[in-house]
């Protein structure tokens, strides 16, 4: 065995170098791109999840803002801020009941604004993490 190694050490070194190069080439052309694809898919999903969490938070904030606005309008209605005092029932029928729950029904303009922002956030996720 020692004689074999003494006589063929150079050939063995070349074979080892070739094997290492073959492995590195395989890794860089096959394994690594698959790893990057999986990582990118995971990052996209995290981004979309964050966009959904932001959407729920933005909706809840808009609900609270709208409820305060309805309540302020109700108070002004009762006081007759425009010169015409109305009953509580008339004011509630006109303005609705304030709803500051996180899943309230928003006026169309507010809902459209929150929905547009959510759509833009999701589109940004796809731009930042394109899928092949």
Residue 66 near residue 74 (C-beta atoms within 8 A): no
Token output for 2: 């020692």
pTM greater than the 0.85 cutoff? no
> Whole domain around residue 25: which residue ranges?
2-128
Interval 83-120: pLDDT, tens: 677 788 888 888 888 898 999 999 999 999 999 999 99
| Token pair listed for 89 | 């029932």
The HSE-up count of residue 4 (CA atoms within 13 Å, CB side) is 2
Number of domains the chain contains: 1
Return the structure tokens found at 122: 């999701």
Bigger pLDDT: 75 or 110? 110
pLDDT in tens, 9-66: 888 889 999 999 999 998 888 888 889 899 999 999 999 999 999 999 999 999 999 9
């Amino acid at each position: 065995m020692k004689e074999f190694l003494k006589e063929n050490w150079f050939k063995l070194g070349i074979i080892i170098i070739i094997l290492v190069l073959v492995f590195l080439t395989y890794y860089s052309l096959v394994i690594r791109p698959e790893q990057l694809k999986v990582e990118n898919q995971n990052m996209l999903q995290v981004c979309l999840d964050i966009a959904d969490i932001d959407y729920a938070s933005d909706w809840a904030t808009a609900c609270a803002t709208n409820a305060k606005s309805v309540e302020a309008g109700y108070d002004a209605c009762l006081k007759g801020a425009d010169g015409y005092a109305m009953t509580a029932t008339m004011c509630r029928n006109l303005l609705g009941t304030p709803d500051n729950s996180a899943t309230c029904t928003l006026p169309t303009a507010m809902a459209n604004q929150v929905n547009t922002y959510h759509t833009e956030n999701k589109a940004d996720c796809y731009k930042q993490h394109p899928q092949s």
